[in-house]
A and B are shown apart, each in its own frame.
Chain A
């Protein structure tokens, strides 16, 4: 009897567990088409870059025949010239030049000139071509071409870590004057950490105070904390520029109080950036902590004390472990949001305090180098996910279970 009843029972269970998904189907579809798919498409550009391979079919075929590394033999040169001629004719040479330029800065103008020449006269020989454009005689040019021949590339991801393939085919550091991203990531993580810790330092005591206030007063405090939420982040940031300016409110106040003897440069400085970001992020850290603190009954601390625990022991061994999920959730939220800050660093941060998002935006908007933007975004996303997984693994924190 049970052998028959059991499978039927299970299908029913499965149907029931699928039902919530069925209800969420429209949302899931929306998320997929408007969020998941574009992000996947964009991120794929970090590793898939077919421009060079598409532009140079003949040269790449010839390169495959060519034996050595370094500068190839004459057939490759002739095939390269033919490819460029065709690209010039089809108008795709600009795109190719730009793509090559991201791998080999300065290559763009030379490539365009070669292409113009190739369109006018028949290429003669390797020597003539090298003579006309010396770049063709350099091994690094051909290294870039060989790399670009591969539609799947690790170039951009390596670049995001200031690494590259050397001419010898090993991974090495890029020249010091081109190394930026490790520093930018470091700065981004540092500022996110500092902001997270400062919001925690402010939010934890505040949340504790709010849980112990009378409900009416706690409500007022909560509104005060949430008030900034009701204005856009742009307005809030602009307000901070008013406050932080050299002749702004904060400097006036500090001077008036006699805390400082001269006006501080808070605008366009890291201090100002951290102050503004801390203010904007405070509710994000506070709310999860507050909601968890409110769920810990006051009798917990009383019980600990009645069992002989001094106030600090009671706090450390009974209270803190119970509010830890809220603390971690709040900190994680703020940290992750800080990694993506864009407008505040632009308006308040100094030129040397731009965060990774500013670089991503710059690649997308100004340099039209979507591959680099995708690679940086990918690293950012991966580190965020890595952080989340670490948190859930080691602290047993489950954001999905948080109320």
Chain B
């Protein structure tokens, strides 16, 4: 599997920067250590009509490829210069806020929208002139789009019967698909007689029964309640592993993206701002947007005092100082925003490097069952959320010491905050 950033300058901006926590990772955008040249070469061959020179591996890694794809609605640019690859058998999730272009991108892949610019290839061939019904892509819609006048069985048989599959083959394949989603006993019901979760599974069986090479899902779990959603996330993941089918899933639920995906592409304002494994995105966000969008983060605004080897010293209001990893274009005197995860702040100087330490008073303590959250007020009045164990017992207004490692604290240029829609790292070089 390989990833391509949406913008090659993004990588060079990053490569100049940080001294990353884990030496095994190439860059926050791409956690597979692969030389950039190799990737560029494979991208180049993908556009060539002659595929024979490509290795089996690179063909698998660029099963789906978006090459500089743009989508305009009138004057409005819904998708901007998208470069993206999906590997064969991969589970890729598009994650992003509402209106960031995820559905549009998915619809272009499914064939319901045509790119205004650029090319989409599927298994090495451009799909530009291929109508949706010839793409052999299974799709699960947000509201499932089950056919209300057909029974569950007829719904699942539909893709087979329109393909003129012999009648004798249809019944066993439908049965197997329904068994896979554990709905055999409901096959004579109409969709309206099923619960939301059952409908979702019918939609899944219908999208999988004709053995498509690629399955697209637009917010497949969006209509389910929290508990069912969590259950279906695991089920989807298991089905993906069992069938080895390539899946592209859209969601705006970051937990869902982290749970299910091999890789996640984070969308913002029509562009992919970062793509990587859930682990990579969570621990090494490349922009302030990703840092705040995925997981919870504390944000501290300050001014850079000095810049060292991948790190910087930041002056916070009220005379406090903090060291952090420099991400992107960090210059002395420039405004920055520091982000630090609540679980990376410790109350004791115990395990690991804790080169930042500050005194704080407890504003409040919120009980969550398996953990608690402290709202800790720094001397300058800024409040940090700290995740602590369930047995921790700090009284309100008690003074505590906060410790964190500078490698867990990331400094982003504050200009990226001002116009958050632009990935600042893209403009760094």
Interface flag for B132 (CB, 8 Å): yes
Chain A residues with CB under 8 A of B159 = 307-308
Complex CA distance for A314 and B158, rounded to whole angstroms: 10
Interface flag for A321 (CB, 8 Å): yes
What 0/1 readout, one digit per residue, does chain B (144-179) give for beta carbons within 8 Å of chain A? 011111000000001100110000000000000000
Complex CA distance for A322 and B139, rounded to whole angstroms: 21
Q: Is the CB of A309 within 8 A of B110?
A: no
A303-B139, A313-B162 known; A308+B147 contact, CB < 8 A: no
Interface flag for B381 (CB, 8 Å): no
Q: Is the CB of A308 within 8 A of B210?
A: yes
Q: Of A299, A302, A309, which one neighbours B158 at CB under 8 angstroms? A: A309
Chain B residues with CB under 8 A of A303 = 139, 141, 145-147
Shortest distance in angstroms between A5's beta carbon and chain B's nearest beta carbon?
A: 29
Closest chain A residue, CB of each to CB of B142: A299
Shortest distance in angstroms between A306's beta carbon and chain B's nearest beta carbon?
A: 4
Shortest distance in angstroms between B163's beta carbon and chain A's nearest beta carbon?
A: 5
Q: Is the CB of B110 within 8 A of A306?
A: yes
Shortest distance in angstroms between A47's beta carbon and chain B's nearest beta carbon?
A: 44
Q: Interface residues of B, CB < 8 Å — how many?
A: 27
Shortest distance in angstroms between B102's beta carbon and chain A's nearest beta carbon?
A: 16
Interface flag for A291 (CB, 8 Å): no
Complex CA distance for A308 and B132, rounded to whole angstroms: 7
Docked complex: B198-213 residues within 8 A CB-CB of A: 206-207, 210
Q: Of A299, A309, A313, A317, which one neighbours B141 at CB under 8 angstroms? A: A299
Closest chain B residue, CB of each to CB of A321: B149
SS class of chain B's interface: helix, strand, loop or mixed?
loop
Q: Is the CB of A308 within 8 A of B162?
A: yes
Closest chain B residue, CB of each to CB of A322: B149
Interface flag for A225 (CB, 8 Å): no
Q: Of B145, B162, B210, which one neighbours A302 at CB under 8 angstroms? A: B145
Chain A residues with CB under 8 A of B163 = 308
Closest chain A residue, CB of each to CB of B160: A308
Chain A residues with CB under 8 A of B139 = 302-303, 306-307
A306-B110, A307-B158 known; A300+B133 contact, CB < 8 A: no
A304-B158, A321-B149, A322-B148 known; A310+B133 contact, CB < 8 A: yes
Interface flag for B131 (CB, 8 Å): yes
Complex CA distance for A311 and B40, rounded to whole angstroms: 39
Interface flag for B285 (CB, 8 Å): no
Q: Is the CB of B147 within 8 A of A300?
A: yes
What 0/1 readout, one digit per residue, does chain A (298-332) give for beta carbons within 8 Å of chain B? 01101111111111011001100110000000000
Complex CA distance for A299 and B148, rounded to whole angstroms: 12
Interface flag for A7 (CB, 8 Å): no
Q: Interface residues of A, CB < 8 Å — how many?
A: 19
Docked complex: A39-62 residues within 8 A CB-CB of B: none
Interface flag for A297 (CB, 8 Å): yes
Among A304, A305, A307, A321, find the residue whose CB has the most chain B CB atoms closer than 10 A: A307
Chain B residues with CB under 8 A of A310 = 133, 162
Interface flag for B137 (CB, 8 Å): yes
Interface flag for B112 (CB, 8 Å): yes
Complex CA distance for A309 and B138, rounded to whole angstroms: 12
Interface flag for B292 (CB, 8 Å): no
Q: Is the CB of B149 within 8 A of A307?
A: no
Interface flag for B126 (CB, 8 Å): no
Chain B residues with CB under 8 A of A307 = 133, 138-139, 158-159, 162, 206-207, 210
Complex CA distance for A304 and B138, rounded to whole angstroms: 10
Shortest distance in angstroms between B212's beta carbon and chain A's nearest beta carbon?
A: 9
Q: Of A299, A309, A322, which one neighbours B133 at CB under 8 angstroms? A: A309
A302-B132, A302-B141, A303-B139 known; A309+B147 contact, CB < 8 A: no
Question: What are some 28 contacts across the A-B interface (CB < 8 A)?
Answer: A297-B143, A299-B141, A299-B145, A300-B147, A302-B110, A303-B141, A303-B147, A305-B132, A305-B133, A306-B110, A306-B111, A306-B137, A306-B216, A307-B133, A307-B138, A307-B158, A307-B159, A307-B162, A307-B206, A307-B210, A308-B133, A308-B162, A308-B210, A309-B158, A318-B147, A321-B149, A322-B148, A322-B149
Task: For the complex of A and B, list the 10 residue pairs with the smallest distance between their C-beta atoms, beginning with the closest.
Answer: A303-B145, A307-B159, A306-B139, A299-B145, A305-B132, A309-B162, A321-B149, A305-B133, A299-B141, A308-B162
